Amino acid sequence: MCGIVGIFGHPEASTLAYLGLYALQHRGQESTGIVTATGETFHRQAGMGLVADVFSRDVLDRLPGECAIGHVRYSTSGDSSAINVQPFLLQHHRGPISIAHNGNLVNAAEVRTELESEGSIFQTTSDTETILHLAAKAPQADVVDALVDSLRRLRGAYSLVTMVAGRLIAARDPLGFRPLSIGRVDGAWVLASETCVFDLLGAEYVRDLERGEVVVIDVAGLHSLKPFAAERPAPCFFEHVYFSRPDSMLFGESVQGVRKTLGERLFAEHPADVDVVVPVPDSGIYAAMGYARAADLPFEMGLVRNHYVGRTFIEPTQQIRNFGVRIKLNPVKAILRDKRIALIDDSIVRGTTSKKIVQLCRDAGAKEVHVRISCPPTIGPCHYGIDTPLAEELIAARQNVESIRDFVQADSVGYLSFEGMIAAAGVQQGEICGACWTDEQPVSLPYDRAQQLGLFEKARR
Amino acid sequence: MCGIVGIFGHPEASTLAYLGLYALQHRGQESTGIVTATGETFHRQAGMGLVADVFSRDVLDRLPGECAIGHVRYSTSGDSSAINVQPFLLQHHRGPISIAHNGNLVNAAEVRTELESEGSIFQTTSDTETILHLAAKAPQADVVDALVDSLRRLRGAYSLVTMVAGRLIAARDPLGFRPLSIGRVDGAWVLASETCVFDLLGAEYVRDLERGEVVVIDVAGLHSLKPFAAERPAPCFFEHVYFSRPDSMLFGESVQGVRKTLGERLFAEHPADVDVVVPVPDSGIYAAMGYARAADLPFEMGLVRNHYVGRTFIEPTQQIRNFGVRIKLNPVKAILRDKRIALIDDSIVRGTTSKKIVQLCRDAGAKEVHVRISCPPTIGPCHYGIDTPLAEELIAARQNVESIRDFVQADSVGYLSFEGMIAAAGVQQGEICGACWTDEQPVSLPYDRAQQLGLFEKARR
Amino acid sequence: MCGIVGIFGHPEASTLAYLGLYALQHRGQESTGIVTATGETFHRQAGMGLVADVFSRDVLDRLPGECAIGHVRYSTSGDSSAINVQPFLLQHHRGPISIAHNGNLVNAAEVRTELESEGSIFQTTSDTETILHLAAKAPQADVVDALVDSLRRLRGAYSLVTMVAGRLIAARDPLGFRPLSIGRVDGAWVLASETCVFDLLGAEYVRDLERGEVVVIDVAGLHSLKPFAAERPAPCFFEHVYFSRPDSMLFGESVQGVRKTLGERLFAEHPADVDVVVPVPDSGIYAAMGYARAADLPFEMGLVRNHYVGRTFIEPTQQIRNFGVRIKLNPVKAILRDKRIALIDDSIVRGTTSKKIVQLCRDAGAKEVHVRISCPPTIGPCHYGIDTPLAEELIAARQNVESIRDFVQADSVGYLSFEGMIAAAGVQQGEICGACWTDEQPVSLPYDRAQQLGLFEKARR
Amino acid sequence: MCGIVGIFGHPEASTLAYLGLYALQHRGQESTGIVTATGETFHRQAGMGLVADVFSRDVLDRLPGECAIGHVRYSTSGDSSAINVQPFLLQHHRGPISIAHNGNLVNAAEVRTELESEGSIFQTTSDTETILHLAAKAPQADVVDALVDSLRRLRGAYSLVTMVAGRLIAARDPLGFRPLSIGRVDGAWVLASETCVFDLLGAEYVRDLERGEVVVIDVAGLHSLKPFAAERPAPCFFEHVYFSRPDSMLFGESVQGVRKTLGERLFAEHPADVDVVVPVPDSGIYAAMGYARAADLPFEMGLVRNHYVGRTFIEPTQQIRNFGVRIKLNPVKAILRDKRIALIDDSIVRGTTSKKIVQLCRDAGAKEVHVRISCPPTIGPCHYGIDTPLAEELIAARQNVESIRDFVQADSVGYLSFEGMIAAAGVQQGEICGACWTDEQPVSLPYDRAQQLGLFEKARR
């Protein structure tokens, strides 16, 4: 779960990168950083926290140069520390190189072990660093060739931006798990994980990077390479369901539009005899709008989210929790009292949060609570960059829908079917990655999956 | 624009106060503080910034005691500085006293001048401190009597909580401009500006403080006094329109419900021949839902708000602004393109922001933009605690609706009538304060209004 | 124990004040502050810590104006907190007023109680604030008259600088306990506790403030007032023995020169049959030089002081202490081994430190340790601004010299006589304050001395 | 210019390391750090600033474990930044390894270039990191063997401590440029650059590491290796003259004693017909004591040093400088006026500081100023770890003594001869390194000396 941005050819590159990261904040709230280049001198500012916490006018002023890359990150549990904050900036014999990466490399652990036994010294516990060490040892004279050579040895998901003196390089893996788009503004090039960045910057959307494409931007313009063998497409559908911003265009479709269609299909598959349709904010809002429209029922904000909840929130003590503090969601009694409600959300993970929300609605007076989920049951972890828990923690990996209904104490539970889901975006099975719902993995995983998920935890300093 | 909270009789009083302020964060994002008492020893932690910035577990741990008061504040321009962060904590000859105040005292400047000429030394530039100096000089032996005596000399709006050793005192002015409610949780008393605090704490709502009521809470329970002469009621209706949280109950009504009714009446008074109803988020959402429902039109989130916008956001340079950066609101082209829209908001202040939003919608492809406002034109400043600009900055103070329409470049503009507005809450003129729309002031103002608004600016250190 | 400085008429007044405080750092390491004035606008920067910790170029840049006062402070135990950091800056009806005070007012507690009962609200627990409240209530129109009126009601030690719009005011109490000198540099006036400030600034020493003199500096120059009745002189002799810097001129004499004479007289009164004279650094160095010269013995730095010891030093745990850590003083075995030494210091307070130092010398191989003290036994606390412990903690208040020798485990102990001490500076008894050695108090103390020493501890927030 | 410390086998290893660094603060005030180990988990705390700034009780509490190494550092110009703060802590395939190094490797730049071309990625611009990369690539299974193998490839000065899981390793280069001593306290082993650490800790001095010795400490005790071919001895004599603490024993001699002898010989070679001997504090104090004793003249502190001068001192503006501010040294007029003085210092570097001090003495009234230096003229830079300027900046590299006298405006200048200097410590030429005075280099330098001095500046991020 990360967002990346790249700027080439603008006198205020760091400010544009900052604004871009700001628009991508939903893709990672744990840490952020920007690296800029003035000739061969690179400048880096990065830290734990939100974009607005890490950057100030003073900090941006320490980032001169017309070329910049940036990163926001939400780490998977275990390797969350300052040393892993991206973009990374290293020196190798070809000069300074900086990288920002979205995705997850499935064979990074085994490649790292091999490199370390040959004397390479790693600075982080992140899979991303493996790319740089491979490139440092690659025999090619030019850094782009060395980078392509490195990526050939790696499997998994990567949308990345790399900066060397005078050039900005972007790459998307051959299966195209994660998005990466190209835009232009004020004569400059902009690369970004999502198109909402272009809207914020007032930039023009040019096109998406293709699967397996490597793009090199220099003063002569944009050069496209296709150095990898063709593979099946596997764009992550969960980006549509939950992860991307509703105002982005993703893989050619409006995220907001797809979500409303998911809601409409959800009603068609699982209607409910209720008085009112209530979303779990913010993620369930658009599916709920679609559901309400299809059902011709009132759409009501029966749960209000507290938008000031941030990373620094102090959890109340157990004693206070016991009398029922509601930190993130506040039920609106005036709406819920004596009503039968359809409660629309995008997923049930462990089931514990859903259970609390159902209870919250009942305490506020709801007579019936019918849970409707705008995608199929989540049965497996994601190996390509989304922070889904391991299978043993996923309620749907162990229990059927009726057991889940019983656990969350709802009057009924309905999940959208896989076919219904992908139809909402007009795609076929085999054209997307839906491994978290089907366990059908688009790339071969290492024998020991757990090792791959744990990543380099053993190597942590 | 402030929010206050008081806790009496809970071992984790400071944590409850923290959670209460958290729920009231929308009432003031500039500074916050908590004071607690252990016997005669008072503890204060306060600072500039959001509740989540100022408080941490460590900071709360430095606030022991079973009694606490707290404050969030958005200062009017001019006296925004650390010395004015509430709650104030002072020593006087009766011992320590702490106060948190919501509202604005209209004769504070003249009383202050008088006190200073007698040798009183003020520490802040806030009207609130006047109450404490009056009390320090009052002849009564008991601090409650001294406080009541002081309040008799002051005119204007005050909902306040005061803490002295062993007692929590709350007061609401005789006209009842600002809200203040009483709740109970886990055996403790809770006082709060809005009822959403009780929902967050899992507390039970008991009742509102009455107009002109003074409440003293000690170990023997709650004691109610009515020391002031009766006056007309003047609860601020702008709390309903904009300021209070949608999930609060205000002056006996659901804020969310009133806002939807405002939207329904707005459609009745100013229908629009459009394809879709779009709110200006977040404040216009509920009125837009009412409008859409009354109009039987689709309600769509055609503008998306970036929720990470905070106090520390770095404004882009003029050069970047020029190519159209959209920091706070992002228009969704997929919704707006080729559509006629009704754009629902709660007010037009200077007109410049509304103009930008209309332009944003047009740039995203909207064919027609019909602006609808869920209250009457704002023609005057507020003297009772809301940070409305001076009349000379208010577009509706100088221009008629057609001029405003021309300025904001909308296809049409419609304001809800005053009668329509108050009918939405089932009240009569004379039962509320609507001075910002009518200039009918419920209390007499000093001859030099400007002085009162400027407050103690001259006294600023 | 404080140091004060005032600057009038220099475009970089705050930087001069900073440099002055820097030279006075030995007079107080706990907190420091500077207040400057530009017309009627006053600016204050202050904090806990050393001058170099509190001030930076940025902080000084926030202190514009041609007039400045500054303060360094070491608080007596009990009232050490940020609220008491001087200079104080207050608003009263005559405008802003700022004050920095060195000394101790013996009747401040009783005056404060009286003022509070009349409604004055104090902000600090310091005796200094009393002066300002008295002035605020004084009937005189002009602030200088009001200030003089206030000082007439107070007894004790004060050397102070006060700043009001357009004027710098300095005053020294009628007995002249603490020093205060006038200098000029680059056309500007400089006031400072010690003349070493003038040396650092390259300023010319003009003269000392006289006892009971009030000086007003404005654009027309320096005006001298003598508003108080004549009293006996009582300059603090402990300033010569220990407190002032060796490179200052104090009450007309060179501090370094007086200390060497003290050492010479100490040898005359208490010779020792030793091999080498060793000072306890840094305070005993000059007396040791005088002693060695008079004795015609080698002067050796047998104890080395670690100059990086600062406020933030982390005390080792008890376990580590037990094996003998020496934080502040390191004995030099090459010098002390097998030697008979005269160990010269300026005082024995509780005796525990002296005992440790004697042991340190013995552990390093000293055969005999003869302790020589360059003043008489300290038998009482100081009521005029030096942080001496209460009598019950002073070893010389309870024990004779032989008992002290036994306690510190020295081979012999010799104190300089009172007569010998004052003769070193060419003064007579009755011309100085030596109350800590004689308990003869130059001003009458309140009945309850302990209350006066505890000051306003009860009032602490 | 660095200091190092190592602790093995104490439950409060980090606190002992802290105290040790504290005693070594004079060897480096720019940055400091400590690394500790609990089994295979290493903990690091480090930062820019003094030991007392970087460490607090909280910080030490985050450094558990019975084994610790620490470092203080003053960087040569150019590579002063946070990334170079030692001890370094890295992961390689044999596990975590941490290193702290005092000295300078003369062939590090060429070895680094070679390693980088093979794919090694360096994290710092320090020569020290080269040791770790060589060890990471060395074929030996055990880390001690790999480390020895690495050191064989490097030339120059190193006294270092290295920590791996379960072992503390120390090494001193075959010529023995820098000191390193072994001590014991409370059952634990202590390694330190200077013996003053043992005094502070109350530890027993055991012995110095021999030249070319490698020591491995584990739970079985201390094991000594001698893996390198024999070379001539080259302990740095400037450590005696200036760098080491006066209370340390260095290469078997008392530093303080050697300095006094230097002063005595200086008088023998360059007597002066003066009234008083005045040291430039603090470095000239002991030589001045020796000079005064040999001359039978009074020793006087005619210049007082301000001990609060720290890293954060704010330089006054040019305007203020012009009227003669004296920040670091204050002349004592009472001593200097109308006197002929011998001014004793340990070196003249660029000449500009000496010139200012001479002027300072004359301004204070000195009639004659005779400068005496306790070592020969400094004619070349140090390649082994002392931060001496390049030859072109050294006044004695370009000018004879008479020109220097003219430049500093002294009445006479006298330098101690090389022979006189080394005789003071009872050593012969060829038994020490005196390259800064003779340009006779004990190890062969790379062809391009400047490159070696500039170190890895090109590689700086």
Distance between A79 CA and the closest CA of chain D, angstroms: 15
What per-residue confidence (pLDDT) applies to A448?
61
> In this predicted structure, what is the pLDDT of residue D452?
46
Answer positive or negative: Cα dihedral of C112, C117, C118, C124.
positive
Interface probe, candidates B314, B323, B326, chain A, greatest A C-beta count within 10 A: B314
* B317 inside 8 A of chain A by CB: yes
Chain segment B314-328, per-residue pLDDT in tens = 666 666 665 555 677
Neighbours of chain B (3+ CB pairs under 8 A): A, C
Q: Does B244 touch chain A (CB under 8 A)?
A: no
- Do the chains D and B touch each other, judged by at least 3 C-beta pairs below 8 angstroms? no
Cβ distance D308 to C18 less than 8 Å, yes or no, reads no
pLDDT 10s digits, A421-453 = 999 889 998 899 999 999 999 998 886 655 444
| C93 vs B44, B93, B116: nearest CB | B116
- Looking at residue D322, its pLDDT comes to 56
State whether residue C301 sits within 8 Å of chain D by CB: yes
Q: A46 to chain B, minimum CA–CA distance in Å?
A: 16
Where in chain D do CATH 3.60.20.10 domains reside? 2-231
Does the CB of B319 have a partner CB in chain A at under 8 Å? Answer: yes
Inter-residue contact A209 to A181 (CB < 8 Å): yes
B298 part of contact set with chain A, CB < 8 Å: yes
pLDDT band at A457 (very low <50, low <70, confident <90, very high): very low
C308, D51: Cβ pair inside 8 Å?
yes
pLDDT digit string, tens, across residues D404-437: 999 999 999 999 999 999 998 899 988 999 999 9
**Euclidean distance between the first and the last CA atom of chain D, given in angstroms as a whole number:** 23
- pLDDT tens string A374-402: 999 999 889 998 877 778 889 999 999 99
Contact C312 D56 (CB under 8 A): yes
Largest CA distance in chain A: 72
Cβ contact, residue pair D92, A119, below 8 Å: yes
Query: Which chain D residue lies closest to A130 (C-alpha atoms)?
Result: D121
Return the pLDDT at C452. 46
Nearest CA in chain A to B18: A314
Section B194-221 average pLDDT: 94
Catalytic residue among C2, C375, C433, C436: C2
d(CA D49, CA C384): 38
Among C57, C249, C314, select the one facing D314 at the smallest CB separation. Answer: C57
Six-digit token pair at D293?
Answer: 């004793």
- For residue A185, the chain B residue with the least C-alpha distance is B323
pLDDT tens readout for residues B356-405: 999 999 998 999 999 999 999 999 889 998 877 778 889 999 999 999 99
DSSP for residue A56 = -
Question: Could you give the residue range(s) of every CATH 3.60.20.10 domain in chain B?
Answer: 2-234
Statement: residue B312 has pLDDT above 70: no
Whether residue D321 is predicted with pLDDT greater than 70 in this model: the reply is no
Candidates 3.30.460.10, 2.30.40.10, 3.40.50.2020, 3.20.20.140; CATH matching D254-438: 3.40.50.2020
Taking 80 as the threshold, does the pLDDT of residue D27 lie above it?
A: yes
Residues of chain A with CATH 3.60.20.10: 2-233
Query: If pLDDT is split at 50, 70 and 90, which confidence band does D319 have?
Result: low
Q: Residues of A with catalytic annotation? A: 2
Say which DSSP state B202 is in: T
Please count the other Cβ atoms lying within 10 Å of the Cβ belonging to residue C81: 14
Residues D200-247 pLDDT 10s: 888 999 999 999 999 999 999 999 999 999 899 999 999 999 999 988
Which residues in chain A are contacts of D117 at CB distance < 8 A? Answer: 93
Quote the CA–CA distance of C439 and C318 in Å, as a whole number: 38
Look at residue C202 in the predicted model and tell me its pLDDT. 84
Distance from CA of A313 to the nearest CA of D (A): 23
Looking at chain B, the domain(s) classified CATH 3.40.50.2020 span 256-436
Beta bridge partners of A388: none
- How far D91 CA lies from chain A's nearest CA (Å)? 6
CB D182, CB D206: distance < 8 Å? yes
Distance from CA of D313 to the nearest CA of C (A): 6
Question: Are the Cβ atoms of B247 and A332 closer than 8 angstroms?
Answer: yes
Give the least confident one: A24-28, A70-74, A331-335, B64-68: A331-335
**HEC secondary structure over chain D:** CEEEEEEECCCCHHHHHHHHHHHCHHHCCCEEEEEEEECCEEEEEEEECCHHHHCCHHHHHCCCCCEEEEEEECCCCCCCCHHHCCCEEEEECCEEEEEEEECCECCHHHHHHHHHHCCCCCCCCCCHHHHHHHHHHCCCCCHHHHHHHHHHCCCECCEEEEEECCEEEEEECCCCCCCCEEEEECCEEEEECCCHHHHHHCCEEEEECCCCCEEEEECCEEEEECCCCCCCCCCECHHHHHHCCCCCEECCEEHHHHHHHHHHHHHHHCCCCCCEEEECCCCCHHHHHHHHHHHCCCECCCEEECCCCCCCCCCCCHHHHHCCCCCCEEECHHHHCCCEEEEEECCCCCCHHHHHHHHHHHHCCCCEEEEEECCCCCCCCCCCCCCCCCHHHCHHHHCCHHHHHHHHCCCEEEECCHHHHHHHCCCCCCCCECHHHHCCCCCCCCCCHHHHHHCCHHHCC
For D158, other C-beta atoms within 10 Å of its C-beta total 25
- In chain D, the residue whose alpha carbon lies closest to the alpha carbon of A97 is D461
Q: Which CATH architecture has domain D2-231?
A: 4-Layer Sandwich (3.60)
Selecting among D2, D236, D361, D436, the annotated active-site residue is D2
User: Residues spanned by CATH 3.40.50.2020 within chain C?
Assistant: 254-438
Going residue by residue through chain C (461 aa), what tens digit of pLDDT does each one get? 899 999 999 999 999 999 999 999 989 988 999 999 999 999 999 999 888 889 988 899 999 999 999 999 986 533 567 788 999 999 888 999 999 999 999 999 999 999 999 999 998 889 999 999 999 999 998 999 999 999 999 999 999 999 999 999 999 999 999 999 999 998 999 999 999 999 888 899 999 999 999 999 999 999 999 999 989 999 999 999 999 998 899 998 999 999 999 999 999 999 999 999 999 988 899 999 999 999 999 999 899 877 655 444 566 666 666 555 567 788 888 899 999 999 999 999 889 989 999 999 999 899 999 999 999 999 998 999 887 777 888 999 999 999 999 999 999 999 999 999 999 889 998 899 999 999 999 998 886 655 444 443 433 32
Q: How distant is the Cα of D222 from the closest Cα of chain A, in angstroms? A: 27
C196 interfaces chain D, CB cutoff of 8 Å:
yes
Contact in structure between D263 and D299 (CB atoms under 8 Å): no
Q: Do D461 and A44 touch (CB under 8 A)?
A: yes
Q: Which CATH class is domain B256-436?
A: alpha beta
The Cα of A90 is separated from the nearest Cα of chain D by a number of Å equal to 7
Exposure letters B386-422 (e unless 16+ CB within 10 A, then b): bebbebeebbbbeeeeeebbebbebbbbbbbbbebbb
Residue A188's pLDDT is 96
User: Distances from the Cα of B81 to the Cαs of A57, B69, B388, B457, in angstroms?
Assistant: 21, 20, 19, 11
Catalytic residue at C436? no
Q: Is the pLDDT of residue D458 over 50?
A: no
Rounded CA-CA distance C440/C383 in Å is: 11
Measured CA to CA in angstroms, residue A99 lies from A457, B362, C82, C307 at distances of 21, 38, 46, 46
**Which percentage of chain A shows pLDDT scores above 90?**
71
Distance of alpha carbon C337 from the chain centroid = 36
Residue B314 forms contact with A (CB below 8 Å): yes
For residues A55-80, average pLDDT: 84
The CATH-assigned architecture of domain A2-233 is: 4-Layer Sandwich (3.60)
C314/D18 CB distance under 8 A: yes
Chain C residues in contact with D310 (beta carbon < 8 A): 50, 52
- Domain boundaries B2-234, corresponding CATH code: 3.60.20.10
Contact status of A53 with chain B (Cβ, < 8 Å): yes
User: A328: how many CB neighbours lie within 10 A of its CB?
Assistant: 16
Which residue of chain D is at minimal alpha-carbon distance from A35?
D461
DSSP structural state of residue A139: -
pLDDT at D307 (0 to 100): 64
Say how far apart CA B266 and CA B258 lie, in whole Å: 12
Higher-pLDDT residue of A461, C75: C75
Q: Which residue of B has its CA nearest to A304?
A: B247
Task: Mark yes or no for CB contact C122/B44 under 8 Å.
Answer: no
Q: Is A42 within 8 Å of D461 when comparing Cβ atoms?
A: yes
C286 inside 8 A of chain D by CB:
yes
Please state, rounded to an integer, the average pLDDT across all residues of chain D. Answer: 89
Higher pLDDT, A70 or A22: A70
Q: Which residue of A has its CA nearest to B56?
A: A314
Tell me which chain C residues have a C-beta less than 8 angstroms from the C-beta of D247.
Answer: 304, 330-332
Q: Under CATH, which architecture does the A249-438 domain have?
A: 3-Layer(aba) Sandwich (3.40)
Q: How confident is the model at residue D379 (pLDDT cuts 50, 70, 90)?
A: very high
CA distance D333 to chain C (A): 8
Q: Where in chain A is the domain with CATH 3.40.50.2020?
A: 249-438
D461 contacts chain A (CB < 8 A): yes
Q: Provide the CA B348 distance to its chain's centre, in angstroms.
A: 18
Would the CB atoms of B137 and C118 count as touching at under 8 Å? yes
Q: Which chain D residues are Cβ-neighbours of C312 within 8 angstroms?
A: 52-53, 56
Q: What subunits touch chain A, counting only 3 or more CB pairs under 8 A? A: B, D
Q: Does A153 touch chain D (CB under 8 A)?
A: no
Say if the Cβ atoms of C459 and B91 lie within 8 Å. yes
**Statement: residue B308 has pLDDT above 70:** no
- According to the model, what pLDDT value does residue D53 have? 84
Of the candidates A11, A51, A317, the beta carbon closest to that of B12 is on A317
Hey, is the C-beta of A246 within 8 angstroms of any chain B C-beta? Answer: yes
Touching subunits of C (3+ CB pairs, under 8 Å) are: B, D
- Asked if D96 reaches chain A (Cβ–Cβ under 8 Å), the answer is yes
CB-based contact B136 C121, cutoff 8 Å? yes
- Measured between beta carbons, which residues in chain C are less than 8 angstroms from residue B457? none
Q: Which of residues 172-191 of D touch C (CB under 8 A)?
A: 185-186
